[in-house]
Copies of this chain bind each other. A is one copy, B any other.
Amino acid sequence: MREGGFHGFSFREIAADVGIKSASVHHHFPTKEDLAAAAARAYADRHMAALGDPDDPERAPADLIPLYVDLFRRALVEDRRMCLCGVLATEASALPPGVNAEARAFFERNLAWLESVVARAAPGARPRDIEAQALRIAAMLEGAMLVAHSLGDIDAFETAVLELSETLSLGSAKME
């Protein structure tokens, strides 16, 4: 699913991997929508668990953005794959509603996490600017993964993302 998207895998493949018949898979996940939504939800849960509490006073906000970048980097470098919800995002308009909802929830949870971190890093910033900065970070990471994945060039990810890890809140507080 992370490689071929919603239509890039089949019930019969999964059944063969698990050692049952495809009709049996439908007993656990009645439709492909159910199965893909569950996979997206599990992916998002693991992703958010790896990020941890954005308001943890033990962790400086200046360390949390590099940690965020690193989570995406590892997904791309170690798995040599896109972000699952990034793949689903591009297919949004052709996805069953339940799958689309889980992909959207992934981004909403990511943005909420980033907004918490950016707010801590730039205490005086306006809510509007905090939201904008969170959106830019999430968009840059998904875009950097996407382009690097297409070019087959992991360095492209590093290059695109370098600015983010270096200068955390480039304009979050001082934006006009």
Please measure, in the bound complex, the distance between the C-alpha atom of A100 and the C-alpha atom of B150, giving whole angstroms: 7
Indicate whether A86 reaches chain B with its CB closer than 8 angstroms: yes
Q: Bound state CA distance, A120 and B81, in angstroms?
A: 35
Selecting from A13-21, A50-58, A60-68, A154-162, the interface stretch reads A154-162
Residues of B within 8 A of A108 (CB): 151
* A168 contact set on B, CB distance < 8 A: none
Whether B171 contacts A104 by the Cβ 8 Å rule is no
A78 at the interface (CB under 8 A from B): no
Q: Does A135 contact B (CB under 8 A)?
A: yes
When A and B form their complex, which 5 residue pairs have the shortest distance between CB atoms, in order from nearest?
A: A143-B143, A7-B7, A89-B150, A4-B94, A139-B143
A140 to B85, CA, bound (A): 17
Question: What is the distance, in angstroms, from A150's C-beta to the closest C-beta of chain B?
Answer: 4
Encode A132-170 as 1/0 by CB contact (under 8 A) with B: 100110111111101101111000100110110000000
A80 within 8 A of B: yes
- Decide if A70 is an interface residue (CB 8 Å cutoff): no
- Chain A 1-41: CB-based contact to B (< 8 A → 1; otherwise 0): 00111111000000000000000000000000000000000
Q: Are B3 and A5 in contact (CB under 8 A)?
A: no
Residues of chain B within 8 A (CB-CB) of A150 are 85, 88-89, 92, 100, 103-104, 106-107
Residues in B whose Cβ lies below 8 Å from that of A80: 93
Chain B nearest CB, measured from A87 CB (Å): 4
Instruction: Tell which of A4, A81, A88 has the most Cβ of chain B within 10 Å.
Output: A4
**Complex: how many Å from CA A152 to CA B163?**
28
20 more CB-based (< 8 A) A-B contacts, given A5-B8, A103-B150, A107-B147: A3-B93, A4-B6, A4-B91, A5-B5, A5-B7, A5-B94, A81-B93, A82-B92, A85-B150, A87-B90, A88-B150, A89-B146, A107-B151, A132-B159, A132-B163, A135-B156, A135-B160, A140-B143, A143-B146, A163-B171
